[in-house]
Structure 1
Amino acid sequence: MSRYPFGLIGFFMSSVAALPALAQSAPSERAAGTVSEVAEIVVVGGRQGLNRIPGSASVVDGEDLRRSQIFTVNDALRKVPGLFPREEEGGGLRPNVGVRGLNPTRSTKTLFLEDGLPLAFAPYGDNATYFHPSVTQYQRIEVLKGSGQIAFGPNTVGGIINYITPTPPTQPGGTVMLRAGNRDFYEAEASVGGTVGDTGLLFTGQRRETDGTRRNIHLRTNDASIKIVRSLTEGQSLTAKLSWHDEDSDVPYSGLTRAEYAADPRANPFTNDEFRTRRAGASLVHKAALNDNDDVTTALYGTWFDRDWWRQSSNSAQRPNDSSDPRCAGMANLNTTCGNEGRLRTYYTYGVDSRLTLRRDLGSLDSETTIGVRAHGEEQERRQVHGDTPNARTAGTSVNGGLREDNRREVAAYSGFIQNRFGMGTFAVTPGLRVENINYDRFNRLNNTKGESDLTAWIPGIGVSYTGIADTTLFAGLHRGFAPPRVEDIINATGGSVDLGPEKSWSYELGLRGQIQPGVTLEASLFRMDFDNQIVPSSVAGGAGATLTSAGKTLHQGLEASVQVNSRDLLSSQQPYAVTLSAAWTWVADAEYRGTRFSNLSGFTAVSVRGNRLPYAPENIATLGLGFTHDAGFDALVEWVHTGSMFTDDINSVPVSANGQQGRIGQANIFNLSLSQTVGDSGVTALFTVKNLFDRTYVVDRSRGTIPGAPRLIQAGVRYSF
């Protein structure tokens, strides 16, 4: 990249060269299983780190994940108040996560991290989620929604979801899990590792296959990773990680028309569609103690992501995609003479992130300053190819065949932040400031045009907390929300500038979290998000690829809360069993257009939508779990998942349109059951779960046509730990 490589390479070289000099301790002699500390970029730091977060934050730990025998990432994220994980294909492979009423489509308002480093393939230039590793491989999930977000970026309008990978065990051991069920589901997962001397190693791998929410869908994924943790000296540690993910699925892009859904909610006429993706990731994280109070953590990371989606329709208004081809002439010839299109994408993402923490005693004040800098690069190769036949995988020569898009898009982003926590006994104030400088390049090979653009944003925030109440933290915060435009949103296909700036908001919150009494843990937040210019699709029914426009001023406000109750701790019981209750509730009281805006739906462009509710913002979302555990190894959990009704377009239409893309989605109430029994000290645990216990048929999405939620899924298996 013309404006990027030399600065980035210099930053890399200076950072790497400095690593050995950062620690000032002599090498240590260590016995088996004694790696002192894992080098990682800390986002929350587990439940023990929550009290230091200057805003709302949640942790879903490994016990929560195991008890409910989660099947997809959506199962896990429903346990966090404020999040709306919307289903799609039935495997959670392309999560759609909305935060506090923000549109969930492709999770574009959400920043996904893994061990504090970017998980998405292009968080600056194309923050859309088209893949997701198996969530069962993680040991916990951390979520930030408050002012603490400014230590990370670039997206701070919604929330941060950070997945924590397991660390190598101190003694050699591992786990093997096998599960199978209806809809051709099977899963094999294994992890094995251990620590010898200064080095710990962990290998994880998984293979999963299952049918999706509709007919003629089959999802196949593989995940593998190697994590190495090593103590270099008394004050230095190094963590290296390699990961691989691939998907080879038969899955359509389009939803159903109203007539198709009425005839068969699980229909899928597009039997020739395929989705193929490969992702390789690598990271190296070094942490060094400079003295007893200060430390520095530096991470190098890079990913390669390749995605091919061959499809005959991009939404339910196209029947099929090549309907203008005289050889096709409509759905009757879908599997014979109709062609297709391939959306072919390759992404390269790489960067370096370094954070220095300084701790000082300033008399009556305790000061902890964190200063961070990052250089980040992205390269996109984007091609759209039209084929002549239903199963074509190359460009055709017919009137609708050939190469339709051939773009190279690049992003060079430089960011820095400073955040200081001033502690005064039970009171703490944490102001911070982040800066993002983003440089865009786009080269269109079809017309040999090139465009450049750039932007700089300053992102302030402040949080306050009070811990004077036993085991409880009160907090309040304010921060500037920021999300950059995609490359195609700021530079058009001919290299010209597009008048679409970054997404900005002011976010406020007031809340508490903690153990209000033994056995009862509560988290609650009042929130308000005022957007200067929320970015939305020009047509909310246009799907994930629709052109984005500014919606002007919008407002989101409401209340989110969660509670966990354990009868044994609450009653100080000595009984060998406990009844547990867990609940998460999100009330988005307002999610509405506040500025002057007219609908972009065909036929309604003169209709003002001021005061209308934003699409895909249900007023109420809730998850309630009632469990029973026994010291003999038995565990049972029943969950109720409620999603309130929602509008799917900006005019808030209620009747379903003929193409299935507009019309209100009704509320859904789904029940799940999980049972497990551990057999003595054998390390063997029998597993059984039913998702959608009563086999309800319900709608989850209309953005590309109507899509149903998952049917009843029955799964059984065994887990062996050794």
Structure 2
Amino acid sequence: MIITSKNNRLRPALLANLACLGVLVPCYAAAASASAEASQVETVIVIGQRDGLRTIAGSGSTIEQTDLVKARVLNVNEALRQAPGVFARDEEGMGLRPNIGIRGLSPTRSSKVLLLEDGLPLSYAPYGDNATYYHPPIRRYDRIEVLKGASQIRFGPNTVGGVINYVTPRAPDVLTGQITLSGGDRGYGEADLNLGGPIGDVRALLHANATQSDGVRDNQALKVQDIYLKLEKSFGANHDVALRLSRYHEDSQVTYSGLTQAEYLANPRQNPFVNDGFKAVRVGASVLWAWSLDETTTLKTSASFSWFDRDWWRQSSNSAQRPNDASDPSCGTMANLLTSCGNEGRLREYQTYGLESRLSRVDELGPASLESEFGLRYNDERQNRLQINSDTPTGRTPGTSINAGVRENNLRYVEAWSGFATTKATIGAWTISPGLRYEHIDLKRINRLNAASPIAGEDRVVAWIPGLGISYRIQPRLTAYVGVHEGFSPPRVEDAINNSTGSSVNLEAETSTNWEAGLRGDIVKGLGFDVTWFRMAFDNQIVPSSVAGGIGATLTSAGSTLHQGLEASVRGSLVDMGVMAGDDLTFRAAVTYVGDARYDSRRFSAVPGSSAVQVTGNRLPYAPEWLINMAVGYQWGTDADVQIEYGHTGKMFTDDLNTVVPTADGQRGRIKAADNWNVTLNLHPDTWPVGVYIAVKNATDARTITDRSRGILPGPPRQVQFGLTKAF
């Protein structure tokens, strides 16, 4: 049951009820023993190791370090394609702004997915602006967890599509490290360092990365530097603390606009917007205190902070604003692009603060084994947003011509309280996992364009989010599961509150009822599989009012929609199966079939000029019917391995009219199915001082389109990359 309300009387009752959880802490603390085993710092566990999937009453998958290394993945998009149900769409070629969709949901800026790092929110504004304009390099992580079942309500606020958790390595107990130097065509170069070990009684881990590339289009130089530090220390037998610090910096010559149809046909790699640029800095800090109260009870408390500053100067925000736009007389033709055409500075600053406690306990109640978890969280977000239009393509100050000057000056605030309670009761072969989550979100927006008379408005969203998962162990290594939970995704501040009046636009939260049923286990030893049927029935799916508007478009309710299909994965090793010894043949596959992704209720087109056309029954944009990723590898002892990977993305529509023939502006028209082949060779003989790898991405140099929402964005071309690695 999802409830939205402006009534503040619910908050005291909520806090009173959730405060009862705090009574458990001193009771458990009194039972703590001085002789308890020393605890270890652990992140907030989402799934755990791959074998942990056997005890989860719902769908999920993990991508382990061996999977990442065998494929020599360049970015997060390549990695996530190994997980069934996940659609990771390319943009600039390095995964700096991932577009991740799950089970047919819109992939734009990953706004329908909850991204975590070590169990804590990775997004700079998970409540008020859950758009991914930043992503650390994939090298920072040891493994990736993808959770889509009912148990994802342990995390929030987005519980619609799924949770993706990036797990960093533990700080090592002895001095160890690895350095990787990589290079390739299209200007690719990367230096990566992992170094860790004890400093006195503190365990430390340092990760540093510098990457550059020319991207997938001309005039698109990309540069990123990322540094991450983790410190871990034990205080006595029952207390452990982990401190994480990070700084990310990006300086990219990247534009927002795609190509027209004619430009793409003439040269798919061209980019006429040579003066556009994107600069971003993110600083993050968090501390996690793990307190082992007794042998059965652990309290984990975290405090986190992030500051994200982003300046994007560009000559258009979508193809409709390209030169020839009648509203900008100085930009009559493309010939004026580098001289008289002005630009827009989208300047953003975010500060996010979080405080969370999670209490987990294991109990025996008669024949039942109980694993319970209770959590409370406070989240505070502050946005400072400016749009400055300049008179020239290289200008960085407010202009004086038509449509120039300061066009937006907004402060936006979000204050959110949430709590959850879940338990996993195992009785014989049965596991029953009920849970309940609560979200209380206060939104505020202040329009400061008129400094003498600012316009302020507030809104509130309140939600109760239930979930239930059930699994049955048919055999020791074969499990059936079924689950249902409410999906919830809050509206952004800018969509909930009118900028001109400060009034609520009554845009309710996005809600759905999510069902799934599956079978997971081993066909034989060393050959595992997972098959899941899923159904997401939305009461109120939120979509852009203009299909070409991109992430910044005004959002509206699309009413009820339906996503339904199957996903499956299989992986195996002939050594683990007992067929081979020494050398090994490995294989994996992930297949997603989204048979239904359609508008179910009475809905009219959001395409300009087509508002009278009813699109009920049409397929949702950017929801490919088929996704396939599979790989076969051969390993020669410990000396070398080779892997061939195949990926398929099915055809997809780009507007609610399901237009097939491309339009001249490039924004609409069906995107054809795409096939991609990658080949990777790793050489690491014990007698060599360094390891060597060679990776060929898009080996057939297939010409593809990834997006049309703001003009055509081409897929990556063939790229050859090589690297040297040294472990010590």
Identify whether the pair has TM-score above 0.5, normalized to the shorter chain.
yes
- What residue in structure 1 maps to residue 676 of structure 2? 670
- What residue in structure 2 maps to residue 32 of structure 1? none
Q: Does 1:585 align with 2:555?
A: no
> Aligned partner of 2:464: which letter?
W
Q: Is the 8 A contact 1:25 1:234 kept in 2?
A: no
Instruction: Output the CA distance in 2 between the equivalents of 1:252 and 1:432.
Output: 44
1:51 is paired with a residue whose SS is: helix
Q: Does 1:426 align with 2:433?
A: no
Q: Is the 8 A contact 1:198 1:232 kept in 2?
A: no
Instruction: Output the CA distance in 2 between the equivalents of 1:351 and 1:681.
Output: 49
> Aligned partner of 2:159: which letter?
T
Q: Is the 8 A contact 1:388 1:400 kept in 2?
A: no
| 1:394 CA drift (Å) | 1.6
| 1:195 CA drift (Å) | 2.9
1:467 is paired with a residue whose SS is: strand
- What residue in structure 1 maps to residue 332 of structure 2? 329
Q: Deviations over 1:309-348 (max 9, x none)?
A: 1000111222239763333333211111111010000001
Q: Does 1:511 align with 2:514?
A: no
TM-score (normalised: structure 1): 0.95
Q: Is the 8 A contact 1:322 1:339 kept in 2?
A: no
Gaps of 5+ in 2: 1-7, 13-17
| 1:39 CA drift (Å) | 3.4
Q: Is the 8 A contact 2:324 2:333 kept in 1?
A: no
Q: Does 1:236 align with 2:242?
A: no
Instruction: Output the CA distance in 1 between the equivalents of 2:705 and 2:117.
Output: 31
| 1:197 CA drift (Å) | 6.3
Aligned mate of 1:614, from 613, 620, 633: 620
Gaps of 5+ in 1: 30-34
> Aligned partner of 2:136: which letter?
P
1:570 is paired with a residue whose SS is: coil
- What residue in structure 1 maps to residue 724 of structure 2? 718
Instruction: Output the CA distance in 2 between the equivalents of 1:455 and 1:137.
Output: 35
Q: Is the 8 A contact 1:98 1:105 kept in 2?
A: yes
Aligned mate of 1:227, from 215, 227, 230: 230
- What residue in structure 2 maps to residue 637 of structure 1? 643
1:468 is paired with a residue whose SS is: strand
1:569 is paired with a residue whose SS is: coil
Where do 1:485-634 residues align within 5 Å? 485-493=491-499, 494-574=501-581, 576-634=582-640
Instruction: Output the CA distance in 2 between the equivalents of 1:442 and 1:573.
Output: 64
Instruction: Output the CA distance in 1 between the equivalents of 2:216 and 2:96.
Output: 12
Where do 1:81-480 residues align within 5 Å? 81-195=84-198, 198-320=201-323, 324-447=327-450, 448-480=454-486
1:394 is paired with a residue whose SS is: coil
Instruction: Output the CA distance in 2 between the equivalents of 1:95 and 1:146.
Output: 22
TM-score (normalised: structure 2): 0.94
Distance 1:471 1:534, change over 3 A: same
Q: Is the 8 A contact 2:214 2:220 kept in 1?
A: yes
Instruction: Output the CA distance in 2 between the equivalents of 1:27 and 1:324.
Output: 75
Q: Is the 8 A contact 1:554 1:592 kept in 2?
A: yes
Distance 1:664 1:502, change over 3 A: same
| 1:295 CA drift (Å) | 1.1
2:548 is paired with a residue whose SS is: coil
Instruction: Output the CA distance in 1 between the equivalents of 2:509 and 2:143.
Output: 32
Instruction: Output the CA distance in 2 between the equivalents of 1:683 and 1:43.
Output: 38
2:321 is paired with a residue whose SS is: coil
Q: Deviations over 1:134-160 (max 9, x none)?
A: 012200000010101100000011011
| 1:22 CA drift (Å) | 5.5
2:53 is paired with a residue whose SS is: helix
| 1:397 CA drift (Å) | 2.3
Q: Does 1:658 align with 2:651?
A: no
Q: Deviations over 1:241-280 (max 9, x none)?
A: 0011111000110011111111111111000000000000
Instruction: Output the CA distance in 1 between the equivalents of 2:161 and 2:577.
Output: 35
Instruction: Output the CA distance in 2 between the equivalents of 1:47 and 1:99.
Output: 20
1:541 is paired with a residue whose SS is: helix
Distance 1:197 1:513, change over 3 A: farther
> Percent identity over the alignment?
50
Moved over 6 A (4+): none
Q: Deviations over 1:372-403 (max 9, x none)?
A: 11000100001000011111112122233210
Instruction: Output the CA distance in 1 between the equivalents of 2:687 and 2:226.
Output: 29
Q: Deviations over 1:189-247 (max 9, x none)?
A: 00111136642100000000001111111110011010011111212111110011111
Distance 1:27 1:292, change over 3 A: closer
Instruction: Output the CA distance in 1 between the equivalents of 2:49 and 2:61.
Output: 9
Q: How many pairs align?
A: 709
| 1:683 CA drift (Å) | 6.0
Q: Deviations over 1:670-698 (max 9, x none)?
A: 10000011031556210100000011111
2:684 is paired with a residue whose SS is: strand
Instruction: Output the CA distance in 2 between the equivalents of 1:394 and 1:515.
Output: 62
Instruction: Output the CA distance in 2 between the equivalents of 1:572 and 1:512.
Output: 25
Instruction: Output the CA distance in 2 between the equivalents of 1:200 and 1:638.
Output: 38
| 1:36 CA drift (Å) | 5.0
> Aligned partner of 1:397: which letter?
T
Distance 1:628 1:230, change over 3 A: same
Q: Does 1:699 align with 2:695?
A: no
> Aligned partner of 2:195: which letter?
V
Q: Is the 8 A contact 2:220 2:254 kept in 1?
A: yes
Q: Is the 8 A contact 1:28 1:233 kept in 2?
A: no
Instruction: Output the CA distance in 1 between the equivalents of 2:586 and 2:656.
Output: 41
Q: Is the 8 A contact 1:74 1:95 kept in 2?
A: yes
| 1:49 CA drift (Å) | 2.4
Instruction: Output the CA distance in 2 between the equivalents of 1:153 and 1:450.
Output: 27
Instruction: Output the CA distance in 2 between the equivalents of 1:109 and 1:22.
Output: 39
RMSD: 2.3
Instruction: Output the CA distance in 2 between the equivalents of 1:410 and 1:400.
Output: 28
Instruction: Output the CA distance in 2 between the equivalents of 1:294 and 1:640.
Output: 45
Q: Does 1:79 align with 2:82?
A: yes
With 695-704 and 359-368 compared, the bigger mean Cα shift is at: 359-368
Q: Deviations over 1:644-663 (max 9, x none)?
A: 00000001010001111110
Instruction: Output the CA distance in 2 between the equivalents of 1:629 and 1:196.
Output: 37
2:565 is paired with a residue whose SS is: strand
Instruction: Output the CA distance in 2 between the equivalents of 1:289 and 1:183.
Output: 51
Q: Is the 8 A contact 2:324 2:332 kept in 1?
A: no
Instruction: Output the CA distance in 1 between the equivalents of 2:126 and 2:349.
Output: 14
Instruction: Output the CA distance in 1 between the equivalents of 2:220 and 2:326.
Output: 23
| 1:470 CA drift (Å) | 2.4
- What residue in structure 2 maps to residue 709 of structure 1? 715
Q: Is the 8 A contact 2:324 2:334 kept in 1?
A: no
Where do 1:28-47 residues align within 5 Å? 37-47=40-50
Distance 1:446 1:67, change over 3 A: same
Distance 1:67 1:613, change over 3 A: same
> Aligned partner of 1:639: which letter?
E
Instruction: Output the CA distance in 1 between the equivalents of 2:402 and 2:333.
Output: 16
Aligned mate of 2:489, from 478, 483, 492: 483
Q: Is the 8 A contact 2:640 2:685 kept in 1?
A: no
> Aligned partner of 2:139: which letter?
T
| 1:51 CA drift (Å) | 2.5
> Aligned partner of 2:540: which letter?
N
Q: Is the 8 A contact 2:140 2:168 kept in 1?
A: yes
